[in-house]
Structure formats: structure tokens, C-alpha cells
Chains A and B, each alone.
Chain A
Amino acid sequence: MNKKQKSNTGGYEIRLSGTGGQGLGLSGKMLAAALSDEGLHVAQSQSYEPTSRGGMSRSDLVVTPQTADYPLATGLDYLVILDTRAMSISDGMINTDAVVLVDEELVPEPPKGDFKVHALPLSKKAISLGNLRVTNVVSLGALIALGDICSLRTLEAAIERITPKKYAQMNLDAVRAGFELAAH
């Protein structure tokens, strides 16, 4: 079962993966909000387990101009991996020419295939910003710099809208840092 059939509705699929507690649900929500602002339909699903910390975690976005025929991920066009524990869940699901972004420290052996792998110091950048927990937002900034998903400005506006005030600046700094990290 390795057909990697693209969605029929002319869209693309994004997966943010890692471990529970890395805030992938939240970063998925930020990206979904930005894409919705650009007029797209976004179907978001995430791993939903009784344990919310420590295990594999993923947040999937199926992005389409109209409501998707099938709303769950089947072939990934963009994949972020922030922990080796999330590696296997995407086996056989990565599309040809997909953009794969991994944390160079946390994922020392990224997947191999006919797709582009970018290993960047995402968590290191987050630590340099003063908080390892913004690795998720750093990776969002890097992802949109690597792939033509949405503009930084749209993402920043969405992050500002859905982040509680006291964390807004930290997240905005993180997304910009991530963007610059990948754009270089």
C-alpha cells in the first residue's frame, strides 16, 4: 500500500511531527489559521492519545481550495520531524519532491528518499531565543521559508491572533528566527 496518491482536489498535505509536549497541535493551529486567512480550506487532524506527554505526536493539515474529498493525510508534501520517535509514522507517505524539515540534533538520521531533506538547528535556535519550547514555532518559520506555503506576514498575523498576549512576542520572534534560519 504505497501509492502515495495525491488528493483529487488540487491541494497539498503538511505534517508536523515529534513528541507530545512539543506543541505541535498549537503550531498546526497557527499554520491552519494562516492558510484559512489566505482563503484555503484546512482540515486538521492530530494524534489523539490518552497520554499527552512523551509519546509520538503529529498534527496533519490537508489544504485544499474547497472542502477536501478525504480530510486525513495520505501523501505528505511537507513534513517536519522534531523527534526520532515520529519517524516511522510517515514511512511510505512522503511524496516525491516533498519538503522534509528535521531538527539536526534531535533527528540525526533523517529519512532518505526522492524528496528534499533540510536539517536545521531548530531547537538550538529556540534555546538561543531563551525557550526550547518555541522549537515548534521556529520550525514553522523555517518551513514556510523552504516551501511556498504562505507568506511570513500572514503567518505572523495568525500567530498574533491566536497566541495569548504574554507569549505573543516570544512566538513572533521565534517564527521570524526560523524563517531567517532557513532563508539563509
Chain B
Amino acid sequence: MMSQIQSNIPQRQSLQGNQACALGAIAAGCRLFAGYPITPSSEIAERMSKELPRVDGVFVQMEDEIASMAAVLGASMGGVKSMTATSGPGFSLKQEHIGYGIQAEVPCVVINVMRGGPSTGMPTRPAQGDVMQSRWGTHGDHPAIVLTPSSVQEIYTQTITAFNFSEIYRIPVVVLYDEAIGHLVDTVDLPNPESIKINNRKWADGPAEDYEPYAPDADGIPPMPLPGDGYRTHTTGLTHLESGFPTQVPEEVTRVTSRLLNKIELHRDAIEQYELSCCDDADILVVAFGITARASERAVNNARAGGIKAGLLRLVTLWPFPERILQQLVERASHVLVPEMNAGQLILEVERLCPDSTPVSGVNKFDGDPIHPDEILAKIEELADE
């Protein structure tokens, strides 16, 4: 289920996670970046400011986080792929506009390099405390797509996937990773640009007369009108009809909001990405993402070396949560372990999906240090002894 971006000609280089994000965005066709400096994500903006002028794109440092998100939406509504990058406090400030992007169905990508919180928290320290905010940060009922790379290489590929998903499903896509991965410099093999699969949004191409900008195709996604193409449509954050104009008629609101919610649900299979290791006969199933999944991988391998049947479900798509695979795996697993760098967020979703008979435990840490593989191993060993 991992997104496959084949590399024909490996372009090996030493690259920082945040730099890989910027290069992935450029490769995906991002041509406008609007941002605001914030630790630990600023290297993304810095690299974009260097790369965009070279591909006829535009970099703009806006006056604040809110304006950055607004400019990204404005650019995308003009037909140009766009992105912003931030961290906790900035992610909080962007929430209203993420909601606008969801409501008005504006494709774009938001990078959130997670640091310790709440509030200013620990700007230079990694955390995974935005699991629930990335899903429910903006108000109202809404769908969400959130991707969580766990390596420098995967930041590159998942940034591209984020653009592809945003274009296909017309939704802001969040790429969520922690400071540890964002600042890691690793040896990566960048794929040959020609081998990278790029998806672009469907453009409206029918007659302008009686055109309805939010009338969906069979896949639940309406093609997007390009300003200048003669459709002269209206875009609003108000709940709106297929025509694009507001409605408050209960039946109509139910219809259009249900379509908005279902359009991601409908495509779950294509959006859910994950990686399994040692899961076939796993009694103890570890569910993790990001740097914690890397620690879990070592812990699981060491547990196996010690004769414990442990397995790892590494989430690449965090939201929508890959429900079906978890439910399949817990049919066999006798215990589920959810290590995460927060006080217990992902575990809530895992618990919701597990039968009452399957106990779910956490390994939680929010002191600014990544979870050590041995801390996870110790918990696995403890569970195995039970």
C-alpha cells in the first residue's frame, strides 16, 4: 500500500528532512510558497525561496501565519499548486483557513513540523502532539488527509503524494512530521524526475452556460474552474450549493455537506498508506508513525531476536486512519502497543477500533526527547511476560 515512486536513476545525496520537503514540493509542481518563519520548519521556506525563482515560481514571506495560509489558498484558486510550512503555534493560526480550503475544496499542502507544546512549548524539540489537531483542528464536521513520513526519503515522496492527493481530492493535505525527522540529514536516493507520478486536478471543460462548479463527477469530486476560462464562478466559505452560492436549507445543507464528508471516505483505499513488518504472526502489535515508528522497528526486531512475536504497523497515512488493516491485525494480536511522543492521542483512535477483548497500552513521552527503542522494547517484553 506504500505509495510507489519508482526511481530509475538514483540521485544519491545527503539531504536534510526539511530540504527534502522543499525539493519534493518542487518536483510535485508546487509553484507558489507563502510562509512565515517558525522553528523548526523554517528551512523549508528558505529552500523554497531559493528554488522557486529557478522554476518561474513565486516565494513570498507573508506578514503572519494566517496570511500565509490565505495566500496559499488564493494561489491555488488561481490554478497554481501552492504550499506553506509551519509548526505548532502557526498550525493553530492556520486552522480557520484550512477549514476554508476544505469547505471551498481548494487543493494545497500544509507542512507541520511538530515541536513540543502547548503554546510556544519547546520550539527546538521534537513532539508528536498534533495528532488530533491535524484531524480536528478546524471547526465543524470535515474530512481530512494527513500524511506522516518517517524518514528523509519519505518526506520527499510523501510531500509529492500530498500534492497528488490534494489535487485529486480537492482538499488541503497536511504533512505531519516531527523535528527529529525534519532536521535529520540522511543519505537519500532521489528518484529520476521523469519517474515521479504527478497528478493534477481535473479542470472544468464543459460549456460555461448553466455550469455548476460544485457538481461532482461520479467519483464525488467536482472538476475545478480556472479563472479566465469563462466560467466566472463564485467561491465561498459559506455552506454552498452545487452552484457555488450559499444555502441554509436543511435538506440542501445535508446533501452538500455529506458529499464533502464522503468524498474522502469513498477513496479510503487509495489514500490509506501503511507499512507492515513482522505482522503475519504478531501477538504484540505496535502501531506507530514518524520517528517513533523507526524506534519501534528496532524494538520489534530486537523483540523477535529475543523470541517475542512482535509486529509493527507503521502508519504513513495518519488520517483517514487505516482502519481495516488494524482490525485485521488485531484479530490475531493479543495486545496492541501505541508508542507516541505525546500524552496519548493516537491510542484513542486505536482503542476505538480494537475489540474490548484486546488490551491497548501506550508508551508516552513528552519531555522533548524521542522515544528510545529500548523503552518500547521494555514495554513489549513486559507485555510478553503477562
Q: B-contacting residues of A (Cβ < 8 Å)? A: 1, 3, 5, 7-8, 29, 32-33, 36, 40-46, 48-50, 67-72, 74
B190-198, B348-356, B370-378: which one contacts chain A? B370-378
Find chain B residues with CB under 8 A from A29 CB. Answer: 14, 185
Cβ-neighbour of B295 out of A43, A50, A70 (below 8 A): A70
- Assess whether A1 is in contact with B375, with CB atoms less than 8 Å apart: yes
Chain B residues numbered 178-215 whose CB sits less than 8 Å from any CB in chain A: 179-180, 183-187
Chain B residues numbered 353-386 whose CB sits less than 8 Å from any CB in chain A: 370, 372-375, 377-378
- Assess whether A74 is in contact with B372, with CB atoms less than 8 Å apart: yes
Smallest CB–CB gap between A70 and chain B, Å? 4
Smallest CB–CB gap between A104 and chain B, Å? 31
Q: How many contacting A-B pairs (Cβ < 8 A)?
A: 77
Closest to A64 in B: B187
- Assess whether B40 is in contact with A70, with CB atoms less than 8 Å apart: no
Residue B239 interfacial (CB < 8 Å): no
Main secondary structure of the interface of A (DSSP, over half): loop
A48 and B368 CA atoms in complex are apart in Å by 11
Find chain A residues with CB under 8 A from B95 CB. Answer: none
Cβ-neighbour of A5 out of B124, B291, B374 (below 8 A): B374
Find chain A residues with CB under 8 A from B187 CB. Answer: 36, 40-43, 67
Closest to B40 in A: A48
Find chain B residues with CB under 8 A from A1 CB. Answer: 372, 374-375, 378
Find chain B residues with CB under 8 A from A41 CB. Answer: 186-187
- Assess whether A74 is in contact with B186, with CB atoms less than 8 Å apart: no
Cβ-neighbour of B183 out of A45, A50, A67, A68 (below 8 A): A45
* Beyond known contacts A3-B377, A5-B373, A44-B185: 17 more, CB 8 A cutoff: A5-B298, A32-B185, A33-B14, A41-B187, A42-B185, A43-B184, A45-B183, A48-B179, A48-B183, A68-B294, A70-B297, A70-B373, A71-B151, A71-B294, A72-B184, A72-B291, A72-B370
Smallest CB–CB gap between A67 and chain B, Å? 7
Asked whether A67 and B372 contact (CB < 8 A) given A45-B180, A48-B40, the answer is: no
Residue B134 interfacial (CB < 8 Å): no
- Assess whether B123 is in contact with A3, with CB atoms less than 8 Å apart: no
Smallest CB–CB gap between B186 and chain A, Å? 5
- Assess whether B184 is in contact with A45, with CB atoms less than 8 Å apart: yes
Find chain A residues with CB under 8 A from B374 CB. Answer: 1, 3, 5, 74
